[in-house]
Amino acid sequence: MEIATGVDVLLRVRWAVQADYFARRLVNDDRTGINDPAENFTGLHDARDFFERDR
């Protein structure tokens, strides 16, 4: 049971870090390593969707 709780917390932290990462890339128009700036929006929306499902 403790492992399941820990995994849930780590997964939430991981998606929070992803959301921060992509939000910063969008604000700074960072296109490093991508072909289309829309890929940053996709990453941010994926993180948002995780938290929407997690409610």
- Give the tens place of pLDDT for each residue, 13-25: 999 999 999 999 9
Q: What is the pTM of this model?
A: 0.84
CB atoms near residue 22 (< 10 Å): 21
Q: Hey, where are the domains in the chain?
A: 2-53
- Give the tens place of pLDDT for each residue, 34-51: 999 999 999 999 999 999
SS (H, E, C) 4-54: HHHHHHHHHHHHHHHHHHHHHHHHCCCCCCCCCCHHHHHHHHHHHHHHHHC
pLDDT confidence band for 54 (50 / 70 / 90):
low
Q: What is the mean pLDDT of residues 22-36?
A: 96
